[in-house]
Structures are given as structure tokens and as C-alpha cells.
């Protein structure tokens, strides 16, 4: 639990594709179709921000994956 290395899912606790938190269903599947502005998650499953100039780092700016309805 305390020694995770390599790419991580947004839960910040597991390598990509091995997320076990309550968002695992979204985290472990490569998104298809519409994505949020970060370009890595379905639009209704991502709340992310980006710099005012439009630049962003998906990993840094995916702040939550609570579903937006």
C-alpha cells in the first residue's frame, strides 16, 4: 500500500489500470468518445481545470472524477 511506483491513476494510489478506489470503473478503462478538456476522461466523469492560457498537464489538473450531472 505504501510503496506504489510508476504511472498512477487519478486516485493517486495505484499504477494506471490497477486503481482500486471507488472510481476504479472509470479509472481502469481507456475513455472512448467524448473527453473532458484534459482529454483523458469521459466528460461526465471528470472535473478538471487548466491554466488561463489554455495549457494544461492532464495529470496535474485532473482534480476530481466525481461525476457531473
Write out pLDDT tens, residues 6-57: 555 555 555 555 666 666 666 555 555 555 545 555 555 554 544 445 555 4
Q: Name the DSSP letter for residue 67.
A: P
Cell numbers that stand for 7 in this block: 504511472
| pLDDT confidence tier of residue 4, bands split at 50, 70 and 90 | low
Residue range(s) defining the domain that contains residue 42? 31-64
Distance from C-alpha of 33 to C-alpha of 13, rounded to nearest angstrom: 26
For residue 55, is it within any domain?
yes
Cell numbers that stand for 30 in this block: 481507456
Q: What is the pTM of this model?
A: 0.23
For residue 36, is it within any domain?
yes
Q: Name the DSSP letter for residue 28.
A: T
* Number of domains comprising the chain: 1
Amino acid at each position: 500500500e505504501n510503496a506504489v511506483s510508476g504511472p498512477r491513476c487519478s486516485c493517486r494510489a495505484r499504477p494506471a489500470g490497477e486503481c482500486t478506489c471507488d472510481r476504479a470503473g472509470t479509472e481502469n478503462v481507456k475513455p472512448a468518445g467524448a473527453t473532458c478538456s484534459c482529454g483523458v476522461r469521459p466528460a461526465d466523469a471528470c472535473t478538471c481545470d487548466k491554466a488561463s492560457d489554455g495549457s494544461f498537464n492532464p495529470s496535474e489538473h485532473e482534480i476530481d472524477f466525481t461525476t457531473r450531472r
